[in-house]
Amino acid sequence: MSPVRKIIALIIIIFIGLPILCGIIWTVGIARGALSPEFISDLPREIIMEMPEIVNEIFLEGTSEDVIKDSNTRAWFEAASRVGKTPKELMEEIGLLSWLENELSASLREVGEILRGERGPREVVFDMRPLKEALRHEAIDAYLVSILQQFPPCNESELEEWGDATFRNISWTDLPACQPDLALAQEVLRTERERAIFEMPDEVEILEDVKYVPFGLYRWIVFFSYLLFLIPIFFLFLAALIAAGSPGGFFRWSGVPILIGGLSSLLLALFSKNIVPLAMRWSRFVHSDYWEVELQEVIIEKMGWIPVTITDYLFSPVVNVAAVVSVVGVLLIGISFLVRNKKEQIQK
């Protein structure tokens, strides 16, 4: 009968207990990371504050031949640098910088306070209308015209490319670096801008219909997510009861699968946490025939800390939870030997 019981226990562990345990580890870890006030509120505000300077640095490096090999792309950056107005100054003039640093940042701060329990839950709305209004500001047209005025006149083939651009969704750096009819150029660039603005909603609702909870919404989410561990624990302890013939066997049968689930989740989480920096590090070599140290790589270099930080926020809690589960498994296995040794001493 004992082999049959062990087979039944293994089936429960392999097909039910372990998959659920690994799933709960990831669920709890991702919930802690993705729903934390630091991830939802503090990190976006940090990105907002850094973004204007990052854009300035990208434009500054875009004029270097050592960075941008494509002459057409580099010509656009060089023309923009001769205008005498930085992207940050343009963002400030059209009101975009004010919206980012004030309205949007204040809304994100409010979300963080709600999640921390510093204020009661309420509906938070990101008003996108000021952003859309800023993107329609006449200063943008004047800035683009100033850039175009730095170029020599277009030839016939380049004029055709500009004319065709009104019917295609293309990047501005792919347009010929020449001065077309300014009315045509404004139409092309305005069409692209309006297409992007049209796709934006007027409002984005956050934390809609959330009721008041004490001690902070985030703490309650984490608390209830930890209760999910009762599900795999039930199945693993049930399997241990079926297979074990002694207290030591029970702890060993429950501790080994918990250790396996914790270690496997830990290794996968560490791999996931480090895959983004590794992929970014090797992207230049993988795409060397396409990029050749081009604009995309400059952007990745300047903004690479953002996906790395996001990855760290998401997967570090998974690593921590998996490590705790692994320690629990080791402790249960250790207890199984202590119980067996104590039983042997009593028998002697």
pTM (two decimals): 0.74
**Token duo for residue 117:** 């329990």
181 in any annotated domain: no
pLDDT of residue 183: 82
Higher pLDDT, residue 191 or 200 = 200
pLDDT of residue 207: 64
Q: Kindly state the average pLDDT of the residues 287-303.
A: 61
Determine the distance from the C-alpha atom of residue 134 to the mean position of all C-alpha atoms in its chain, rounded to a whole number. Answer: 26
Half-sphere exposure of 100 (CA within 13 A, CB side): 19
Q: Tell me the pLDDT of the chain averaged across its residues.
A: 82
Q: Examine the pLDDT at 236 and tell me if it is beyond 90.
A: yes
Q: β-strands 124-127, 203-206: how paired?
A: antiparallel
pLDDT of residue 333: 93
40 in any annotated domain: yes
User: H/E/C letters for each residue in the chain?
Assistant: CHHHHHHHHHHHHHHHHHHHHHHHHHHHHHHHHHCCHHHHHHHHHHHHHHHHHHHHHHHHHCCCCCCCCCHHHHHHHHHHHHHCCCHHHHHHHHCHHHHHHHHHHHHHHHHHHHHHCCCCCCCEEEECHHHHHHHCCHHHHHHHHHHHCCCCECCHHHHHHHHHHHHCCCCHHHCCCCECCHHHHHHHHHHHHHHHHHCCCCEEEECCCCCCCCCCHHHHHHHHHHHCCHHHHHHHHHHHHHHCCCHHHHHHHHHHHHHHHHHHHHHHHHHHHHHHHHHHHHHHHHCHHHHCCCHHHHHHHHHCHHHHHHHHHHHHHHHHHHHHHHHHHHHHHHHHHHHHHHHHHHHC
Q: Domain tally for the chain?
A: 1
239: closest CA among 254, 252, 256? Answer: 254
- At 29, is the pLDDT very low, low, confident or very high (cuts 50, 70, 90)? very high
188 in any annotated domain: no
Q: Examine the pLDDT at 292 and tell me if it is beyond 50.
A: no
69 in any annotated domain: yes
Q: Examine the pLDDT at 115 and tell me if it is beyond 50.
A: yes
pLDDT of residue 306: 84
Q: Examine the pLDDT at 337 and tell me if it is beyond 70.
A: yes
Q: Examine the pLDDT at 284 and tell me if it is beyond 70.
A: no
Residue 255 is which amino acid?
G
Q: Which domain holds residue 325?
A: 2-128+201-338
140 in any annotated domain: no
pLDDT of residue 332: 94
pLDDT of residue 94: 92
pLDDT tens digits for 258-283?
Answer: 999 999 999 999 998 888 777 766 65
Residue 267 CA to residue 252 CA, distance in Å, equals 22
> Cβ of 167: how many Cβ atoms within 10 Å?
9
225 in any annotated domain: yes
113 in any annotated domain: yes
152 in any annotated domain: no
